[in-house]
Structure 1
Amino acid sequence: MAFGQPRIEYKTNAQMRTMHEAGLVLSRALDAAVAAATPGTTTAQLDAVFRAVLDEAGAKSNFLGYHGFPATICTSVNEEVVHGIPGDRVLQDGDIISIDGGAIVDGWHSDSARTVIVGTPDPEDVRLSEVTEEAMWRGIAALATGKFVGDVGNAVDDYVSSVQGKPLGILEDYVGHGIGSEMHMAPDVLNYRTSHRGPKIRPGLCLAIEPMLVRGSIETAVLDDEWTVVTTDGKRSCQWEHSVAVHEKGIWVLSAPDGGAERLAPLGVVPVPVP
């Protein structure tokens, strides 16, 4: 028996506009958490700061309670790749932390992540974060110009491979995803080049594009808490993520206040608000 691919949810313009509302709340919450990420702060305190912004806006967290996850953000520090649980860990000078969060407004989801270097930065961590963030934007630009979802991973891989200096690894075990009435939906969005083109890019498609890069091996393991993913060699990692909508006029980065205009302009892409 042949099985089809998981069904992709294509959104109306009105639904995508609501997702943008969720994205704006999420952006403000991440702004607050990033600003609070200083030496001496605990990851639980970052979660509280993030949660307060959602509460004030009347938005819900899509992380809290998700398969039992106990917090509103993931705080992944140093060798932790994704899904770090906020707690009593105190941020130290020189730590690198990825803060990943989401918000729901009227049943529609947003998802975004940023990486912060706490206090005095290690130049190699700065490079890691800058390359990861730019790789994300290259993937987003490919969503505007490509024909298939696989073009996103091709663009990420091509950029990371072209960067001069010590090679950085692209994680393959964790990828981007569709987003809409749920946080994780079809299709998967790979961050690396394969022969699989994926589904066609067409209006109503909304994706969370989230490359994760490491300074060493791409091999990972899950800790005993059954959530936190770490690099097995202890090398540092980084994640950046935005939720993006495709509509009949172009693309719009739902979790960026300017729709991605500033970072996409150098790549020749002009985002257009959802009509």
Structure 2
Amino acid sequence: MERISIVCFGGTYFLSLLADLTRLKWGGKTGWRIVPGLLALGLCVHGVYVAHRGFSMGRLPISTMFDSTMLLAWILAAIELYLLLRSEKANAVGLFITPLVLVVILVGGLFGPRTAWSEDWSGASRFWGTVHAGFLVGGAACTFVAFSAALMFGAQSRRLKKKSSAKEGLALPSLETSERINRLAITLSFPLLTFGLVIGVMLNYAIGLKQSRVAISWTDPKLLSAAAMWCVFAALLNARFRPAMRGRRIMWLTFLAFAFLIFTWIGIGSLVPTAHGKPNVAMLTEGQNP
């Protein structure tokens, strides 16, 4: 049943991408009318699936990599639909965001562990662990949007250099619009990621006080990678508001930050052993004595 649900909303998103590709090749406004409808349908099915997962677990569906990727994909699809409906004319936003949605669903469905990192936690520990994950998923969603905006900026910049008209392909947001979306997404992603990381550090420290040892070593590769990622995002935010750092430089920094996010979230765990996200390290329960 789970696979059928994922195929249903994933297939609907894929159909919306095909409709966008059809408009890219043959033009016309038919695909433009179909895309928002398909996205809305996929969002409804996807939302029901995520809600069902949450009710069945009795908590926010975010405590496993599988659930967090499904929620992240839903947020990205919702943002895409908002941008499409907000636009006054047909544009190519879907060609940049929908593939990311599909990749997130595919990676989560095929490789995402379904074992909760908070399985042995209870009370405040589980609550703050969920808040920690929630902030990180929110920050990741904003980073994905910033990455999409950087791609749109690059595509539009290349089109303008070649002096190509919008009639030769789908209309792209202006450079100013792409920069504005990128700036807003970066401005939101940094505090969300910061809050998520700080809560994670405090939670790890609290577990250490209870157990006389931290759940995850401070030299764990995942924690070191997260610290490096935070530094990259801090540099990106600082550069984002410097007048001298605009245009392509910011977009390349956005690509770097996105790469660090993906590496920290997925890549580091596949390269070196890490205790982060393993349920056997989450041994803290309310009232437990050292």
TM-score w.r.t. length of structure 1: 0.32
TM-score w.r.t. length of structure 2: 0.31
Higher-Rg member (1/2): 2
